[in-house]
A and B are shown apart, each in its own frame.
Chain A
Amino acid sequence: MEFLFLIATLGLILGLKFMGDPAKAVLGNAVAATSVVVALIGVAIKSYAPAAGAGTFNIVLVACLLGAGTIIGRLLAVRVPMTGMPQLVAMLNGFGGLAAVIIALIEGLAHPISDDMRTTGGLLLLSAVFGGVAFTGSLVAHAKLEGKKLPKVKRIHIRAARVLLWTMVALFALYMLAPVPVVPFTTVLLLMAVISLVYGALFTLPIGGADMPVLICFLVALHGLVALLAGMFFQDTVMLIGGVLVGATGILLTLQMSKAMNRTLRSVLAGVIKRDTPGSEREQDIRPISASETASLLAFSRQVAIIPGYGMAVSQAQGTCQEMQTALERMGATVHYIIHPVAGRMPGHMNVLLAEANVAYESILSMEDVNDMMGRYDAVLVIGANDVVNPAAETDADSSIYGMPIIRAHAAKQVIVLKRGMAAGYSGEMNLLFDRANCRLLFGDARSSLRTIIDELKRI
Chain B
Amino acid sequence: MEFTYHITSIDGLFILAMSLLLGFEVIKNVPAVLHTPLMSGSNAISGIILFGGLIQLMSTPPDRVWVLLFSSIAVLLGAINIAGGFFVTHRMLAMFQVKKRDTNKA
Contacts and interface: CB of A to CB of B under 8 A. Distances in A.
A36 B82 contact: yes
B36 A73 contact: no
A92 B23 contact: no
Q: Which of A25, A28, A234 has the most CB of B within 10 A?
A: A25
B50 to A, nearest CB: 6
Given A30-B90, A78-B91, A227 B32 contact: no
- The dominant DSSP class at the A interface is helix
Contacts of A348: 32-37, 39
- Classify chain A: how many residues form its interface, as a range: 35 or more
Given A58-B57, A77-B88, A244 B19 contact: yes
Interface in B36-92: 36-64, 67-68, 70-92
Given A92-B43, A220-B43, A22 B31 contact: yes
B99 A355 contact: yes
B95 A356 contact: yes
- The dominant DSSP class at the B interface is helix
Contacts of A74: 83-84, 87
Contacts of A70: 79, 83
Contact of B103 (A1, A77, A244, A360): A360
A227 B83 CA distance: 17
B26 A17 contact: yes
A397 interface: no
A217 to B, nearest CB: 6
A62 B20 CA distance: 32
Given A44-B54, A58-B62, A224-B46, A351 B36 contact: yes
Contacts of B59: 47-49, 52, 54
Given A96-B43, A102-B70, A235-B6, 14 more contacts: A2-B1, A29-B86, A29-B93, A65-B79, A74-B84, A89-B40, A89-B85, A92-B84, A106-B53, A245-B45, A246-B42, A248-B23, A248-B27, A348-B37
